[in-house]
Each structure stands twice: as structure tokens, then as C-alpha cells.
Amino acid sequence: LSRAFRDNQSHLKLVLLCTAVSGGGLWAYGESVAPEEAVSEKKKVVVLGTGWAATSFMKNLKNPKYEVQVVSPRNYFAFTPLLPSVTCGTVEARSIVEPVRNIFKKKVDVQFSEAECFKIDAENRKVYCRSSVNNNLNGKEEFVVDYDYLIVAVGANVNTFNTPGVTENCHFLKEVEDAKKIRRTVIDCFERANLPDVSEDEKKRILHFAIVGGGPTGVEFAASLHDFVNEDLLRLYPGIKDLVKITLLEAGDHILGMFDKRITTFAEDKFRRDGIDVKTGSMVVKVSEKEISTKELKNGGEIKTIPYGMAVWSTGIGTRPFIKDFMAQIGQASRRALATDEWLRVEGCSNVYALGDCATINQRKVMEDIVAIFKKADKESSGTLTVKQFQEVMKDICERYPQVELYLKNKQMHNIADLLKEAKGDDKKESIELNIEELKTALSKVDSQMKFLPATAQVASQQGTYLAKCFNRMEECEKNPEGPLRFRGEGHHRFKPFRYKHLGQFAPLGGEQTAAQLPGDWVSIGHSSQWLWYSVYASKQVSWRTRALVVSDWTRRFIFGRDSSSI
Ligand code: FAD
């Protein structure tokens, strides 16, 4: 049993669990393993990264006809949605990581190199890598890997918007190491403030925790920190109880701007009740060792300084430098992420695929898609849509591309009907005469740089699964291009294009309350959603081992509270 769990043999595990639960009646099914292919026939697939996109690709790649080389500076997969819980010790860092070698399919020939790619040469089909493990001979070692297919899934950098002092003075919350560092720093702040001879003002400064960015990560971290401080730390440090302060700084008008208005309002009210200072319209312009300078957008741009003890920067993502170089090489220098078509193939080079946070599906293609939806509606309605019909079409579009909705919400336009009406300069129309050219003009107002799919684990993992399925059938389709999988109609690719299925999103708000926004604009906020959150995140774990560890950490926290030692 223990070997089956160790080897991550999910079928065997299921059988063993069923046997254990039912007390017998062992059943099993066989899985035919394709005969080994001659090595020379195998195509070489190089995968860069071991995050959500790459891991989901590797988990679903079943065809033994590939020789796969995975290159990543991390030899483990990290379950990022639980990183905020690691910052406060609600779950331990090791509970949310799984060694990638446990995840790879046994029947596919996979090699892993712990190294980072620093250059892609698409013309000669080579990637240049640098080992991240120091060897005693010559420090850092470089090597070159050839590929037939390259899969770029290297995620993104933290975006500091070149704000002075951020890199030197702020914590980020992107990697497991970041979360561990934050946990140690929070406890260090309490210990420093508790030392003798520290003035009251200095204690206040040290115990001021500033979080920059009111998106889901910043909000969840603020909520987790508030729980940690109030449920565990204040009991241990009663003398400095009244000096602790948490401030959440957001440049926009509201926190959680990408969520439904009901959730935004609930979160802001809850944070105010909890004593978390939410400062909206506050743009950070500089961070020094002890002070944060903000530009108050609501107060005519007044500059304010806020003393702080620890700052966490969580304002979004940027492009990794070697991806920028690659983009310049293939004529995508003006973009913010690698542009792909809807089959996830990078535009401007062949046999390179990009997925996850480092990629974006080309906006032109998305526009064509949106226009196609309208054309279909046009056919059904013979040229005129009522505003209601129009909103239904928009629902279809927003389900497929949630970022369109976000863009419209940010612009205080709740559907494209408003946008279109604005383009026509007529706000009172009850029905809309559908003119595709007019529509294109309206849509061209949408920022050409925007990412149409959100940068989430959900998108990355769906893209990984999709691409693995394409790779599993690649040869079959090449041999039989007119077969049933051929994508007819547009006729330019043998697979169906990638379609994102939005399954909803969570925003944990602390105090065992979570906001959930599920498809169909279904919103639920409170304790029941927190239990939904627990079940979804337990079920989404990549292995039974991490699932067991995470659930036991939650149980430990319920019984004994969080550990506040600074190791
Ligand atoms: P990543 O998962 O970041 O993986 C990138 C991989 O590339 C890593 O293995 C990295 O080591 C590797 N790499 C980096 N540089 C190189 C290089 N030079 N060469 C080779 N490999 C390289 N999303 C949700 O859907 N729900 C959530 O609740 C949620 N919560 C989040 C909470 C936090 C704190 C954070 C930071 C993110 C959260 N996300 C969430 C977003 C989600 O984690 C990302 O969208 C997702 O990780 C993107 O997957 P990816 O595979 O593109 O990149």
C-alpha cells in the first residue's frame, strides 16, 4: 500500500482504497501499455517550467512516442492558491509541494534537469540553460538542449512597475520561499517590537504591516495575517496588542475589482469591521527602508508617507527577461506576453507552444471569435437585436473570455451593449441594429494589449491538459488528417481550438468566511463558502500525499492554533 502511494499509482491507490473501505471485493481493470518505440523514432519535446501549466501537460501526456526533457529551476510543483496560508503557518510549506518526478507518467520517457533557461533559439530549435545547482568544478554550468517541439510554461515575474525601492524593501508572494520569508518576518516584527527600550512610536512602526495591491492575493494575505495576529499572536504578545495595524493599499477605486460588486462591497465592509485599513485610490510611488510614499489619487495627487515594519507587494505580473528577448527575436517586441493562436502555438515561429501566465491568446483572433458570435446572432435575428438579446450574446462572450467582462467592469460598462451604444452615441435605444463593421469599431476600443484570459492556475492547467491531448493524438492526426478530429469549417488546423471553461473563483476573507463567484453570476459569501473552499482545494491537490498533509495541517490548526516560532 505504501509503495503504491509513494509511486503515485492512482489506479492502484483507488483500488486499494475501495478495498479498504468496502472490506473486500477487490476489483481492478487492466491498462494496455503500448510497446516501446525505437528511440530514434521519438520526437523530442522540451518543456520549460514545472508550474501549473507544465505539470498539467506532463500529467496528461500519455503517448510513449515522445522523449521529454523538462527544464526548471524548481524540482517540485507548488500549489500556489495555498501560498497565503503558508505565510501564516495555517499550512506548512512542504504540505503544498510535490516533487515533479512523482508526477511524471511512468510510461513516458521523461528526463528532468534542475536549471533555468536563459535563451531560446527558435531558428535552430535549441534552448540554452544554466544549472541552478552549484557544482564544485566551475560554479554555474551551462548546457544546450535541442527540441522538435518546445513548450514554454515559465510563468511570470512580479511586476513592480519600476517603482523605486520595491525590489530592495518589499516582500513578494510568488514562490514558496517568499511565503516562508514572510512568515519569519511577521514573527520577527513581533519579537523586535517586544524588545526592551523600543519606543512606542518605533513599536507602532514595526507592527505596521502594509500590503500593496487589492487583488485576490493581496486581499487573501491581509485576511490571513489578520487571523494569525488576532487568533494566535496577540495571545502570546499581550503587551503590544493595541499597536498592531494592517493597511491594504489599492490604486483603484475598490479592492477585488475583478469580482462581482456584491463581493467587493462585502469584503470592504468586513475589512473595515475587522480593523484592516483599506486605502483605495492610493498609488505607491516609492518605498524606502522604513516608509512608503503614496500618491492620493482622490486628493489631487497629494503625496503621503506611511511608516511601516513589513511591506508585501502584490500588484500583478510581468514578463520574464529571457521571454522578452525571445519576443524581440520573433517580432513580438511590443507585446507584454507571448502571443499564441488559439491552438497555443506561438506566433512567428514553428513548433513552439506557450501556455499559462507567460502567454496570451492573440487579441485579433479573439476579436474574430467575438465577431463570429455576433454574426451567428445576426443570422438568427435578421439584423436587429434587442438589448436583452444583445446581453445574452455578451454572456456567451464573457463566459469564454472573462477578461472582456473585467475590462468592461473597470470601465463601468456592464456589457458590450453599453459600449456599442456609446460608440453609436445613442444611449436610449431599446434594440440594436447589428452592423458588423460598427461592432468592430466598438471592439477596437478594447485595449489591444489586454490579456483575454485571466492569469490563473485554472487557465494554465486547462491549457496544459488541452495541449497534452493534442500531443497524444498528434501522430494519429498527421497520418489521417481527414479523420474525425479534423477541425472543419475554418480548415486550418487538425485540432479543435483551445476553449477555456471558467469554473468560478474564490476570495477568502478571513474569520472562516469566503466569497465564491461561480458561473452564471452565482455569488455566495460566508461560512458555507469557506467549506466549499476547503473541499475544492483539498480535491485539487496533485497527490494523495499533499492532500493528506494539507487536511492534517488544517485539522492541527483547528485544534492547536498556528505555530508562532520563527524557524
Ligand atoms: P507557474 O505556476 O508560476 O510556473 C512557472 C514555472 O516555470 C515554475 O516551475 C518556475 O520555476 C519555472 N521557471 C521560471 N523561470 C524559468 C526559466 N528561466 N526556465 C525554466 N523554467 C522556469 N490561481 C488560481 O486559479 N486560483 C488561486 O486561488 C490562485 N491563487 C494564487 C495565489 C498566489 C499567492 C499566487 C502567486 C498565484 C495564485 N494564482 C491562483 C495564480 C496561479 O498561481 C498562476 O496563474 C499559475 O501559477 C500560472 O501557472 P504557470 O504554469 O503559467 O506558471
The 8-class DSSP code of residue 302 comes to E
Is the Cβ atom of 183 under 6 angstroms away from ligand 1? Answer: no
Give per-residue pLDDT as tens, 523-540: 999 999 999 999 999 999
Give per-residue pLDDT as tens, 72-114: 999 999 999 999 999 999 999 999 999 999 988 778 899 999 9
What's residue 490's pLDDT?
Answer: 45
Is the Cβ atom of 153 under 6 angstroms away from ligand 1? Answer: yes
Gap between the Cα atoms of 147 and 165, Å rounded: 40
Is the Cβ atom of 53 under 6 angstroms away from ligand 1? Answer: yes
Closest Cα to residue 421, out of 395, 407, 400, 441?
A: 441
Q: What is the mean pLDDT of residues 177-194?
A: 96
Q: How far is the CA of 51 from the centre of ligand 1 (A)?
A: 5
Q: Cell digits for 111?
A: 528526463
Alpha helices by DSSP H, listed for 23-70, are 52-60
User: Among all chains, which residue has been given the C-alpha cell 488546423?
Assistant: 493
What's residue 403's pLDDT?
Answer: 65
Q: Say which amino acid occupies 321.
A: P
pLDDT band for 412, please (50, 70, 90 cuts).
very low
Across 389-398, 453-462, 480-489, which has the greatest mean pLDDT? 453-462
ipTM over 0.95: yes
Q: How far is the CA of 52 from the centre of ligand 1 (A)?
A: 6
Average pLDDT for the chain: 84
Mutate to test the pocket of ligand 1, among 76, 80, 322, 533 (most ligand atoms within 8 A of CB): 80
Q: Cell digits for 473?
A: 493524438
Domain ranges of the chain: 166-318+504-560
Give per-residue pLDDT as tens, 416-454: 566 666 655 666 667 767 676 766 666 666 555 455 678
Name the residue at shortest CA distance from atom 53 of ligand 1.
Answer: 155
Mutate to test the pocket of ligand 1, among 96, 133, 220, 357 (most ligand atoms within 8 A of CB): 357
Q: How far is the CA of 47 from the centre of ligand 1 (A)?
A: 15
What's residue 134's pLDDT?
Answer: 61
| DSSP-derived 3-state class of residue 540 | coil
Mutate to test the pocket of ligand 1, among 47, 48, 50, 52 (most ligand atoms within 8 A of CB): 52
Kindly list the distances between the CA atom of residue 546 and the CA atoms of 91, 192, 512, 534, 556, in Å, as whole numbers in the listed order.
11, 34, 22, 14, 15
Is the Cβ atom of 356 under 6 angstroms away from ligand 1? Answer: yes
Alpha helices by DSSP H, listed for 7-135, are 10-22, 52-60, 83-87, 100-103
pLDDT at 201 over 80: yes
Is the Cβ atom of 284 under 6 angstroms away from ligand 1? Answer: no
Closest Cα to residue 173, out of 338, 22, 354, 311?
A: 311
Give per-residue pLDDT as tens, 27-85: 333 333 344 444 457 899 999 999 999 999 999 999 998 999 999 999 999 999 999 99
Mutate to test the pocket of ligand 1, among 72, 127, 175 (most ligand atoms within 8 A of CB): 72
Closest Cα to residue 390, out of 320, 354, 438, 342?
A: 438
Instruction: Write out the CATH class of domain 166-318+504-560.
Output: alpha beta
Give per-residue pLDDT as tens, 243-301: 999 999 999 999 998 888 899 999 999 999 999 999 999 999 999 999 999 999 887 88
Is the Cβ atom of 217 under 6 angstroms away from ligand 1? Answer: yes
Q: Say which amino acid occupies 47.
A: V
What's residue 107's pLDDT?
Answer: 82
